[in-house]
Amino acid sequence: MSSLASSREIQEKVLATQGRPGAVHALLIVAAAAAAAFGAWCWSLQIRYGLQVSGLNRPVGWAIYITNFVFWVGVAHSGTLISAVLFLLRAKFRTAVYRVAEVMTVFGVMTAGLFPIIHLGRPWFAYWLFPYPNERHLWVNFRSPLMWDVFAVSTYFIVSAIFLTVGIVPDAAALRDATKGWRQRFYGLFAFGWQGTDEEWRHYARAYLYFAAFATPLVFSVHSVVSWDFAVSILPGWHSTIFPPYFVAGAIFSGVALVVTLLVPLRRILHLESLITPWHLDMTSRVVLLTSLVVTYSYILEYVLAFRGPPSVERSTLAYRATGPFAPLFWTMVACNCVIPLLLFLKKVRARPAALLVICVLVNVGMWLERFVIIVTSLSHDRIPFDWAGIYRPTFVEVGITLGSLGWFFLWFLIFVRLLPVVSISEMKEASVHGVEDAA
């Protein structure tokens, strides 16, 4: 099979997703904008009255904001995993799903980046995080994991945005040549004069390989760096050598689950069922299952390491996590991340998009809880029993900002899917000619 007969059909299906949103889509955009506006108002309260409006207090100085930061950086990982790592591994199922994952990465990092600034309390001093020449000759501390974070997350955002933009170029050219008026001019901006000549493809293929090669170590490094925010401290519950692989596996787990969460309704709303097929969902959900098993292993290992040695503060903290006032959250996390994903072993569950959606939403709830449990329980139960009485409760400002971050993320995402192709047209054309799914 080498005919390009289905190429135009693919292009027209993707083109049909562009432009004026339907009623459901418009409603979702309004809801996301309202949530983002509510979050912004809550943040304005915090700026006005200070961190006293949050539930942060001694000993819990890091809580829901840092939980959100780690969660959003985590979900951003799947984009690079699917687009770069699976590209290098030549996994064919990535073709239909990688654009959604890349878009999710960029907007996920944009959302994550808000939280350290919100957490600062005085966001107007956020520029202190960056190294710049100043009159006091005072520089940032590059020995601090928080500074590694600034560099890791900034690099991740820039590289992911470049990767996404470069991937869009041939698709924007195809849409530019298929449209007229302002849409032609708009797509022309993203096409950068692309004509699809052999010279362009020759350099493009090589450059894309390099982008993938650069992005791949970032998948593993960024969340390792985020885990070091915790692991290089000496706090029981945080100070652990298994944190980097544990966090990376968790990041990929939550990220791929969010990709499935987005894909299932998206393919229906945008009528992309023939491009994003049950096979693509099946293969993606297998990644969710695999990473769920790795995360489960990490949970078990964390407890085994603490309980095999002599009695320690670490053991006490982990026992508190599973039996203390936060135990319902801990066991919900275990159910969502370790037990429910086991259903994905069943082929008939993987074949049902609705079941996948429910499982993946629960995985995201579980992964958010995991970050919350790690951060808050460890701080609530440190070495000084005097501190143990304090139970952290998020205030409505913190909950509002968290809801606002969801609105912020979905607002960007929902606007994007109407402006630029959410499925890679050129790679789908290549896959259709080579009969990828038939060969798999």
Partner 1 sequence: MESKMRPEAGVLGVFSDLARGAQAIRALRAAGHSDVRMASPAPFPELVEALGRPRSRLDSATLSGALLGVLAGFALCIGTAIAWPLVTGGKAIVSVPPFVIIAFEVSVLVGACVNLVALAVTAGRGRRRRPVPFDPRFSADRIGIFVVGDGLGDAETILRTNGAEEVRRVA
Nearer to partner 1 (CB atom), residue 208 or residue 299: 208
Of the CA atoms within 13 Å of residue 180, those in its CB half-sphere come to 0
- Output the CA torsion 408→414→418→422 (10° steps): 110
Min dist. Cβ of residue 116 to partner 1 (A): 16
Determine if 134 is a binding residue for partner 1 (CB under 8 A): no
> CB of residue 374 vs partner 1: minimum separation in angstroms?
21
Cis peptide bond prior to 59, omega within 30° of 0 = yes
90 binds partner 1 (CB under 8 A): no
246 touches partner 1 (CB under 8 A): no
CB of 378 to partner 1, least distance (A): 20
Closest distance to partner 1 from the beta carbon of 211 (Å): 6
Non-local (6+) Cβ contacts of 427 within 8 A are 95, 98
Instruction: Give residues 382-421 in contact with partner 1 (rule: CB under 8 A).
Output: none
Residue 241 in contact with partner 1, rule: CB under 8 A: no
Tell me the closest approach of the beta carbon of residue 79 to partner 1, in angstroms. 15
What is the DSSP code string of 81-148? IIIIIHHHTT-TTHHHHHHHHHHHHHHHHHHHTHHHHHHHS-GGGGGGGS----TT-----TTSHHHH
Structure tokens at 340: 């429910």
The Cα 71–Cα 109 span in angstroms is 10
**Rounded to an integer, what distance in angstroms lies between the CA atom of residue 231 and that of residue 243?**
6
User: For residue 60, which phi and psi values (nearest 5 degrees)?
Assistant: -90, 90
Q: Which of residues 140-159 bind partner 1 (CB under 8 A)?
A: 140-144, 147-148, 151-152, 154-155, 158-159
Given 19, 22, 50, 196, the residue binding partner 1 (CB under 8 A): 196
Q: Is 426 in the site for partner 1 (CB under 8 A)?
A: yes
Q: Give the burial string for 69-92 (b: 16+ CB within 10 Å, else e).
A: bbbbbbbbbbbbbbbbbbbeeeeb
Cα-trace Rg, the chain:
23
Tell me the C-alpha distance between 102 and 112, whole Å. 15
Buried b / exposed e over 23-49, threshold 16 CB at 10 Å, is eebeebbeebbebbeebeebbebbeee
- Helix, strand, or coil (residue 60): strand
Query: Sign of dihedral through CA atoms 313, 319, 322, 323?
Result: negative
Choosing from 58, 127, 181, 198, the residue that interacts with partner 1 (CB under 8 A) is 198
Closer CB to partner 1, 50 or 435, in the complex: 435
> Minimal distance in Å, beta carbon 194 to partner 1?
8
- Distance of closest approach, residue 31 Cβ to partner 1, in angstroms: 35
As a whole number of angstroms, the distance between CA 398 and CA 65 comes to 7
Q: Which of 139, 307, 345, 396 binds partner 1 (CB under 8 A)?
A: 139
Considering only residues 206 to 235 of the shown chain, the ones binding partner 1 according to CB under 8 A are 206-207, 210-211, 214-215, 217-218, 221, 225
Asked if 343 is part of the footprint of partner 1 (rule: CB under 8 A), the reply reads no
Tell me how far, at minimum, the Cβ of 70 lies from partner 1, in Å: 18
Minimum CB distance to partner 1, residue 172 (Å): 10
Nearer to partner 1, 67 or 95 (CB): 95
Number of residues that bind partner 1 (CB under 8 A): 66
CA distance 430 to 440: 15
Token pair 């960056």 is found at 130
For partner 1, the closer of residues 193 and 328 by Cβ is 193
Q: What residues between 168 and 187 interact with partner 1 by CB under 8 A?
A: 170, 173-174, 176-178, 184
Nearer to partner 1 by Cβ, of 269 and 433: the residue is 433
- Per-residue string for binding with partner 1, 6-25, x by CB under 8 A? -xx--x--------------
CB 84 within 8 A of CB 215: yes
Q: Which residues bind partner 1 (CB under 8 A)?
A: 2-5, 7-8, 11, 131, 137-144, 147-148, 151-152, 154-155, 158-159, 162-163, 166, 170, 173-174, 176-178, 184, 188, 191-207, 210-211, 214-215, 217-218, 221, 225, 425-427, 429-430, 433
